[in-house]
Amino acid sequence: MNWSLFWDLTVSGVTLGSVYALVALGYSMVYGILKLLNFAHGDVYMIGAFMGWFALHWLGGPVNPSVTAGLVVVFMFVFAMLACGGLGVVIERFAYRPLRNAPRIAPLISALGVSFFLQNSALLLFGANFRDYDTFDLIGAKTYNYKDIFLSVPQILTIVSAIGLMVGLTLLVARTKIGKAMRATSFDREAASMMGIDVDRVIASTFFIGSALAGAAGVMFGLVFGQIYHFMGFLAGLKGFTAAVIGGIGSIPGAMLGGLLVGLAESYATGYLPQGSTFQNLYVFALLIAIIIIRPQGLLGKADVNKV
Amino acid sequence: MADDVTQPRIGVDEWVASVEGKRERYRGPVGWLRRGWDSSPPAARLLVFVVPAVIFPFVTSEGNLFRYGLITLLYALLGLGLNVTVGFAGLLDLGYIAFFGFGAYTYGYVASAHANHHWPAELAIPLAIAVAAAVGFIVGFPSRRLVGDYLAIVTLFFGQAFVVFVNNANRINFWPFNHTDLTGGANGLDNIDPLNVFGWKVNTTKEFYLFTLGAFLLVMIVLYFVSESRTGRAWKALREDPLAAEVMSMPVNRLKLMAFVFGAGIAGFAGAIYGSVQTGAFPGDYDIGLLITIYAIVILGGAGSLAGVIVGALIVNGVPELLRDSNQAEWLFYTALVILVLAKVRPWQKLVVVVGGTLGLGFALHAIADAWFPRWTAGQPNDGKLAHWVSHWMVLPSHATQLANWAYVLTIALILVLTLLHGWWRTIVFIPTIYVAAFAWENLLVENTAGATRFLLLGALLVVLMNVRPQGLFGTARVEIV
C-alpha cells in the first residue's frame, strides 16, 4: 500500500469535507426549521467566493496587499460571511416567507428560481471567466508535515476555521437564547409562536447563520483550490445536499459527519476507483443512492414519523 | 405577516376557492371568453389549437417555422411529460432533462453511422421511449418511499450525473463498457438519420413540424384520457395529500413510480424527435438551462393543465424569439409596459402619479445628465422612430454594458420587491422600477436577449409566479386546508 498517496488523499478529502460540511450545515438548519430544501444555498456559496475575491482586491490584491496577509484573510472571511448572511435573509424574505403556507412544491420551485437567478446574475455581472484567488502570492507555498502527512497553509486554515465555526455553531444552538428559540421553532413552529417566540425573526437568523457559513465555505474553497467561477455553486450545492442527506437532514452533527464522508469519498474515489478523476461525481451519487436505500433517515437522523 | 391574504384560510377548499374566484373572473370581455372556454367540450378546445397549428407551416418561412413552430412544439411536448410528474402527481423531478437526453442518445445510437445501425423510426422511437422509461424506473425506485424532497435531490444529482456520463462515455475503460464508445463524448453523436416512419422520410422542417405536431396531439389526447381515468384521479389525490390518499387505500408508491416513469417515457419520445431534428445529440443540450425552461413553461401555464402547457411554451419560447428584431422589440416592450401600467394601476389618481412620475423622473434625470455629465447622454439610440423619441427621456451612457447589467438585475430585484408591497408604497416603487427597467432595456436587452439574461428572467419568473399566482395561467387555484 502506498501510504503517502493515502495520506495525500485523506488530507485533501478532509479539506474538501470541511467545505462541504459548512455548506451542508446551511441546508440542514433550514430544512430543520422550515422543511424546505433551499436550492439557492449552493449559489449563496458561490456568491461568498466572489465576495471574498472582491474583498481581496479591495485590499490591494494578492501580490502586494495593503495590510498583512493574515488581516486580509480575516477581512475576506468577515466580508463574505456578512454579505452572504444578508443575501440569505433577503432571499428568505422575498422568495420563501410569502410561501410558508402554500402547497409544499411551491417553495421548492421558488428556490429553484432563486438559484437560477443568482447563477445567471453572477454570469452577467461578474463575467464567465474564472477568477483566481492566487493564494501562492498571498500566503506562500509553505507546507508543514508530520511524517507522511503534508498540509499546506490554506488547508490548515480551512480545517481549523471550519472546526472553529462548527464549534461556535454548536455552542450557539445549544447555549444561547436564539439557539433555544431555533430548536423550539424547528420542533413545532406553531407552538413556538404561541410561546411568544418571534418565529419570523428566528427563521431569518437561521438563514443568516446558514448563509454566512456557506459564504465562509466559498472563501475556503477559493483559498485552497484557487479558481472560482459562476457555476461552482451548483456542484457544491449538490454535494452539500448529499452530505446533509447522508448525515441525516435536519441534524447538525449529521451535516458535519456527512460533509466529511462525502469529501473523503470523493477524494478516495479520485485516487483508487477506475477513472476516478473523471467519474468522481458519479461515485458520490452512487454513495447517495446507497445511503438512501439502506438508511433513508441518514446516519445520525431520526426516522420521521408522520403525524396527522 | 403584513396582509391577511397570505394567512391560511381554514376550512376553505378548492371548490370554495373557485366559487370565490368566479365573481372576479366572469366579468367583462375576458369573463365572456372564459365562460365560452369553460363551457365548450374538450374536442372543441383542442381545435382552437390545432387549426392554427396546421395552417401555420403553409403561411410562414422555413426559418420562422423552425424557430416559432418546431421548437415550441418540442418544448410543449416536453412540458406535457413534466406536467404528468409535477402537475398531476406533484413530484418534483429535477432530472427530467436527462430522460430527454436518454431518448436522443438512444435514437442516435441505433440510427446513425456511429455504431452503424440504421433502424427505422417505428422501431427506434419505441426503443427510445422504453429506455427512458426504464431509466426512470431505476432512478425512481429507490426514492419511491421517500418524501418528495429526497426525490428532488436524487433527480437533480441524476441529471448532473447524466451530463458527466455522456461527456465521458467514449473512454470508459472498465467493466462493463471496456472501451466501447457509447456517446461520442464531448463531441456528441452526429449525422443522426432523419426519421424514417414506415418508409416516410421526415427530412425538411415542414415534415418534422407535421410529424411533431402529430406526436404532440397523440400524447395530448392520451394524457387527456389518462388524467380523466382512475389513475389520473389517483395522481391528483396523491398530489393534494399523500397521507389521505394512502388512508383511502391507494397504492401511493406504485402510483408515484408510475407517474415518474410515464413522464420519463414522454421525455424519451421528445428526445428521439429532437435528436433527429438536430441530426445530432450533444451533451451541452441536456443541461439545467433546458430544465428551467421547461419548468417555466409548465408553471407559467399552470401545473396540471394541458392547455396551459401550450400557452406556456408559446410564451416562453415565442417572446424571446420575437424580441430578437430590435425595432420590433422596442415597440413590443413599450406597448407591453403601457398595457401593464393601465391594467395594474388603479384608481386613476395613482395612474396619474405613476405616469407623471415616470415621465418626470426620466426628463429630470436626462436634463441633469445633459447639464452636468454629458458623457451620460452620449450613447447612440437604436434604430427606429420610437427609439429616437425615447432617447430624449432616457439617459444613454456611452459605455453602458456593465451598468446596464446591474440595472437589469436591479430591475428584477425591484419587481420581486413590488410583489410584496401594497398600497401607496407599491405605487411609489413602481415609478423607479419602470425607469430602471426601461434603462436596462435600452442599454442591454435590445441588443441581447439570449443566454444569461433569458435564463435570469426565467429564474425570476418562477419566483414571481410562485408568489403572485402559483396556479399559473390555466391551473386551478388551490388553498391549503389546515
pLDDT per residue over B367-417, tens digit each? 887 777 776 666 666 666 677 777 777 777 766 677 777 887 888 788 878
Tell me how far apart the alpha carbons of residues A111 and A128 are, in angstroms, rounded to a whole number.
23
Tell me how far apart the alpha carbons of residues B256 and B239 are, in angstroms, rounded to a whole number.
10
Between A and B, how many CB-CB pairs are < 8 A? 161
Residue range B259-268: mean pLDDT, rounded: 94
Inform me whether the C-beta atom of residue A292 falls under 8 Å from chain B C-beta atoms. Answer: yes
| Model confidence band, residue B12 (pLDDT cutoffs 50, 70, 90) | low
Mutation target among A92, A198, A289 for the B interface, most CBs of B within 10 A: A289
Inform me whether the C-beta atom of residue A201 falls under 8 Å from chain B C-beta atoms. Answer: no
Inform me whether the pLDDT recorded for B24 exceeds 80: no
What does the pLDDT look like over B178-229, one tens digit per residue?
Answer: 667 777 777 888 888 888 888 788 888 888 999 999 999 999 999 999 988 9
Closest chain B C-alpha to A156 CA, distance in angstroms:
30
Who contacts A138 (Cβ-Cβ below 8 Å, separation ≥6)? A56, A62, A65, A69, A72, A73
What does the pLDDT look like over B280-292, one tens digit per residue?
Answer: 888 888 888 899 8
Mutation target among B162, B300, B405, B456 for the A interface, most CBs of A within 10 A: B456
Inform me whether the C-beta atom of residue B86 falls under 8 Å from chain A C-beta atoms. Answer: yes
Bridge partner list, A152: A143
Please tell me the predicted confidence (pLDDT) of residue A92.
92
| Model confidence band, residue B21 (pLDDT cutoffs 50, 70, 90) | low
At which residue does the C-alpha cell 463524448 appear? B185
Q: How many CA atoms lie within 13 A of B386 on its CB side?
A: 13
- Looking at residue A150, its amino acid is F
B48-62, B253-267, B377-391: which has the minimum mean pLDDT?
B377-391
Q: For residue B283, give the DSSP letter.
A: G
Instruction: Collect contacts of B51-58 with beta carbons under 8 A, ≥24 apart.
Output: B53/B213, B54/B213, B57/B206, B57/B209, B57/B210
User: What's phi and psi for A150, nearest 5 deg?
Assistant: -105, 130
Inform me whether the C-beta atom of residue A112 falls under 8 Å from chain B C-beta atoms. Answer: yes
Q: Which of B73, B46, B45 is closest to B57 using CA atoms?
A: B73
Closest-approach residue (CA) in chain B for A39: B153
At which residue does the C-alpha cell 398530489 appear? B239
- What b/e string do you get for A138-169 counting C-beta neighbours within 10 Å, with b at 16 or more? bbeeeeeeeeeeebbbbbebbbebbeebbeeb
Please tell me the predicted confidence (pLDDT) of residue B212.
92
Tell me how far apart the alpha carbons of residues A64 and B152 are, in angstroms, rounded to a whole number.
46
Please tell me the predicted confidence (pLDDT) of residue B82.
93
Tell me how far apart the alpha carbons of residues B78 and B84 are, in angstroms, rounded to a whole number.
10
Please tell me the predicted confidence (pLDDT) of residue B25.
59
Average pLDDT, chain A: 87
Residue range B20-47: mean pLDDT, rounded: 72
Tell me how far apart the alpha carbons of residues A116 and A126 are, in angstroms, rounded to a whole number.
15
Average pLDDT, chain B: 80
Bridge partner list, B200: B197
Closest chain A C-alpha to B455 CA, distance in angstroms:
7
At which residue does the C-alpha cell 424527435 appear? B273
What does the pLDDT look like over A113-165, one tens digit per residue?
Answer: 899 889 888 888 888 888 888 777 777 777 787 777 788 888 888 899 999 99
Tell me how far apart the alpha carbons of residues A190 and B146 are, in angstroms, rounded to a whole number.
25
Q: How many CA atoms lie within 13 A of A1 on its CB side?
A: 4
Please tell me the predicted confidence (pLDDT) of residue A203.
94
pLDDT > 90 fraction of chain A, expressed in percent and rounded: 38
The top-scoring range by mean pLDDT among A21-25, B9-13, B44-48 is: A21-25
| Model confidence band, residue B14 (pLDDT cutoffs 50, 70, 90) | low
Within chain A, which residues score under 50 in pLDDT?
308
Please tell me the predicted confidence (pLDDT) of residue B146.
63
Inform me whether the pLDDT recorded for B141 exceeds 60: yes
The string of DSSP letters for B130-189 reads HHHHHHHHHHHHHHTTS-HHHHHHHHHHHHHHHHHHHHHTTS--STTTTT---S-GGG-E
Q: For residue A67, give the DSSP letter.
A: S
Tell me how far apart the alpha carbons of residues A27 and A238 are, in angstroms, rounded to a whole number.
11
Instruction: Answer with the residue of higher pLDDT: B403 or B7.
Output: B403
Contact B453 A120 (CB under 8 A): yes
Please tell me the predicted confidence (pLDDT) of residue B226.
92
Inform me whether the C-beta atom of residue B455 falls under 8 Å from chain A C-beta atoms. Answer: yes
The string of DSSP letters for A141-204 reads S-EEEETTEEEEHHHHHHHHHHHHHHHHHHHHHHHSHHHHHHHHHHH-HHHHHHTT--HHHHHH
Residue range B339-364: mean pLDDT, rounded: 78
Contact B409 A124 (CB under 8 A): yes
Residue range B412-425: mean pLDDT, rounded: 79
Inform me whether the C-beta atom of residue A105 falls under 8 Å from chain B C-beta atoms. Answer: yes
Q: Where are the beta strands (DSSP E) in chain A?
A: 131-132, 143-146, 149-152, 227-228
Closest-approach residue (CA) in chain A for B459: A113
Inform me whether the pLDDT recorded for B28 exceeds 70: no
Q: Which of A160, A288, A120 is closest to B453 using CA atoms?
A: A120
Cα dist from A244 to A146, A197, A240, B154, B297, whole Å: 31, 27, 6, 13, 31
Residue among B6, B161, B459 whose CB faces A114 most closely: B459
Please tell me the predicted confidence (pLDDT) of residue B2.
41
Which cell goes with B227? 388524467
The answer to whether A263 and A20 are in contact (CB under 8 A) is yes
| Model confidence band, residue B1 (pLDDT cutoffs 50, 70, 90) | very low
B42-51, B66-75, B390-399: which has the minimum mean pLDDT?
B390-399
The answer to whether A144 and A243 are in contact (CB under 8 A) is no
CA dihedral B401, B407, B409, B414 (to 10 degrees): -170
Tell me how far apart the alpha carbons of residues A155 and A142 are, in angstroms, rounded to a whole number.
11
| Model confidence band, residue B10 (pLDDT cutoffs 50, 70, 90) | low
